[in-house]
């Protein structure tokens, strides 16, 4: 895998260095990485590479099963983790999101769960939750 986007390389370097060298990683640091579109793009690339490796190693069935089970639902453990993490967004981020229209909030919500697969209704639930958080912030 080759990463030729300089911003993605920077984001990956910052993430790995933080994980490796920080004596304490707080929720702010984690949110910065988890909500980053650059990290999402990197995760998509790494995930695709991992799937290809599984297939090359003769474990295509495992890859297919893993993909099938990698589905976001709002009420799943992953959904609860995303919702909990959103509670730690800074007031300034929540204020910025509150100025967005529903499509922009939905795009943000989608980016939070990618590269997992999802049904639109689950993204709508997450979008509603984010909008609720921004209203509570006012």
Q: Which pLDDT tens digits describe the chain residue by residue (138 residues)?
A: 787 888 888 888 888 877 767 777 777 777 778 888 888 888 888 888 888 888 999 988 988 888 888 899 999 999 998 998 898 888 999 999 999 999 999 999 999 999 999 999 999 999 999 999 999 987
Find tokens 């640091």 and name the residue: 29
Could you tell me the two tokens for 65? Answer: 């099963």
Q: What is the pLDDT of residue 113?
A: 93
Percent helix, strand, coil in the chain, to 5, is: 75, 5, 25
Write phi, then psi, for 71 (nearest 5 degrees).
-115, 130
Residue 76, SS3 per DSSP:
coil
Rg (CA), the chain: 16
- Supply angle C-alpha 23, 26, 28, rounded to 5: 140
* Torsion angle (degrees, nearest 10) of CA 101, 107, 108, 110: 140
**Residue 117, strand partner residues:** 71
Q: Cα(2)–Cα(91) distance, rounded to whole angstroms? A: 37
Measured CA to CA in angstroms, residue 8 lies from 12, 20, 38, 57, 78 at distances of: 6, 18, 5, 28, 24
């Amino acid at each position: 895998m080759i990463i030729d986007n300089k911003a993605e390389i920077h984001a990956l370097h910052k993430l790995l260095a933080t994980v490796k060298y920080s004596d304490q990683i707080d929720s702010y640091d984690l949110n910065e990485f988890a909500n980053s579109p650059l990290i999402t793009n990197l995760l998509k690339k790494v995930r695709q590479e991992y799937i290809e490796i599984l297939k090359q190693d003769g474990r295509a069935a495992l890859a297919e099963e893993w993909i099938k089970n990698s589905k976001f639902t709002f009420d799943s453990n992953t959904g609860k983790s995303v919702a909990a993490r959103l509670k730690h967004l800074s007031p300034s981020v929540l204020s910025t999101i509150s100025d967005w229209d529903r499509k922009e909030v939905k795009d943000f919500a989608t980016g939070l769960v990618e590269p997992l697969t999802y049904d639109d209704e689950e993204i709508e639930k997450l979008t509603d939750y984010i909008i609720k958080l921004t209203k509570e912030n006012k």
